[in-house]
Amino acid sequence: MTSSSTNGQERRRSVLFIVLLSCLVIQNCCLRSTNADYASQQKVLQRLIANQRAAAVSKASNGGTRWAVLVAGSSGWINYRHQANVCHAYQILKKAGLKDENIIVFMYDDIAFNENNPKPGVIINKPNGSDVYEGVPKDYTGVNATADNLYAVILGNKTALTGGSGKVVNSGPEDYIFIYYTDHGGPGVVEMASGDPIYANDLVDVLKKKYAANSYKSMVFYLEACESGSMFDGLLPDNINIYATTSTNPKELGWATYCPGDVGTSHEYDVCLGDVFSVSWMEDCDKEDLREETLEQQYEVVRKRTGEDNSTIGSGRTSHVIQYGDMSLSDQVLSTYMGDNPTTHASIDEVDSFPSSPVVVSQRDADLLHFWHKFDRAPSGSKEKLEAREHLLAEISHRKQVDHNVNRIGKLILGNENEKVLKRVRLPGQPLVDDWNCLKKLVRTYERYCGSLSTYGIKYMRDFANMCNAGVNEFQLVVAAIHACS
């Protein structure tokens, strides 16, 4: 018997199995069983159907396998939304039939059972949303959620791993890969939950190596972070079968949503529950048929919701979703990478609750909103109010110090040309910096003498990149940093 006929029989048996189980479910519903175990019986049947679908759907139409890597690059309660985003993405893929062995998750995993969580063990991604944490694989958590482990996972290099579950993208030339990253970023860099950040050139080099190894058919990369376009602009080739979209262009802020004070947001939560770009593509997946909607169609939905739909707020609180890489892949349907969702279109949360004029806040300032909200809600004279005030003032003080340090260093090195040189933005299609090693050296030198840039300070990555582009060397920065930060 040929392999094609065998596969055909297996598919027919899978379909027949699903039909038979579905009939049993319908029959049970019609009989209105009064058995006390009815609910548990239904769950068993639903799990059987889901497992059968997973075995069939994880194989793409060409016989290849679908793989997914989901990355939340932050930790801490104030960054709740990043792990919520990743958990929501997992539920979409799982519901669409991908198996856990093909979904690899990076998250610090300090949110669900955090002492601040009003619903212990539960994570939601929208106001009054359902739990998206249940069942999420804990592949690379805590100190194992590192950039080096992410590179090893993408490349399928188990020997390079340090800790974690050991799962890697062990893909072949006919396989499809979906990568989703959500967190804080700056020009040319995004953070990881533990250890060093991811530099744009290192990430793209890993993707090029994956292509050179002939270990995928095509890949889709969704990236959410401030200045996220700078991770691919001028770097990602258009001939390595990768299609990428970013939440912003190379010089824009990203935006958090479902924040304290927003319409419909529970007073129980003092953090933002999602990010605009992320909830836009995921809530679109929740309600659309992944077998019919193309990547380009979803891009248009997300572009409009992330940009135009936020313009009613004013104050420029919008960003431009950008496409990079191989544009020909945008004609593919979402199910090519995410699996085939059921025809019922049943969603994690049936109603799209994104308000017409949402309250959004810069991703870089969401922590300030958190501290202010805690301060504002705490009883007058209470310990909670005092602690919230101290945290708020400490963060503001830290930001002022970073601002002072970088500006002072720039003036010491570049004199009157400081502002002109450091704030220069390159034309689209040009990478942030010519010498990435120079950029990394200058950042390490700054942190050695002036302390961590921190999540806030990575907004100055362009300043350091422009120093490199202007010919500033490590010794010059050492001298300036000693004067500015001592």
Q: Which residues are catalytic?
A: 184, 226
Q: What are phi and psi of 341, to 5 degrees?
A: -75, 155
Side chain identity at 12, as an amino acid letter?
R
Distance, CA of 376 to CA of 368 (rounded, Å): 12
Distance, CA of 92 to CA of 339 (rounded, Å): 9
Contacts 24+ apart (CB under 8 A), 159-167: 164/139, 164/140, 165/104, 165/137, 165/138, 165/139, 165/140, 167/101, 167/104, 167/137, 167/139
Cβ atoms of 312 and 291 closer than 8 Å: no
Q: Which two tokens stand for residue 212?
A: 């050179």
DSSP 159: G
Cβ atoms of 348 and 92 closer than 8 Å: yes
Q: Distance of alpha carbon 204 from its chain centroid, rounded?
A: 17
Cβ atoms of 340 and 315 closer than 8 Å: no
Cβ atoms of 247 and 324 closer than 8 Å: no
Q: Which two tokens stand for residue 105?
A: 């998750």
**Tally: H helices and E strands in the chain:** 15, 12
Residues with Cβ within 8 Å of residue 266, at least 6 apart in sequence: 118, 127, 128
Side chain identity at 33, as an amino acid letter?
S
Distance, CA of 27 to CA of 12 (rounded, Å): 22
Q: Give the residues across from 179 on adjacent strands.
A: 69, 221
Indicate the helix (H) or strand (E) that contains 284.
helix 276-287
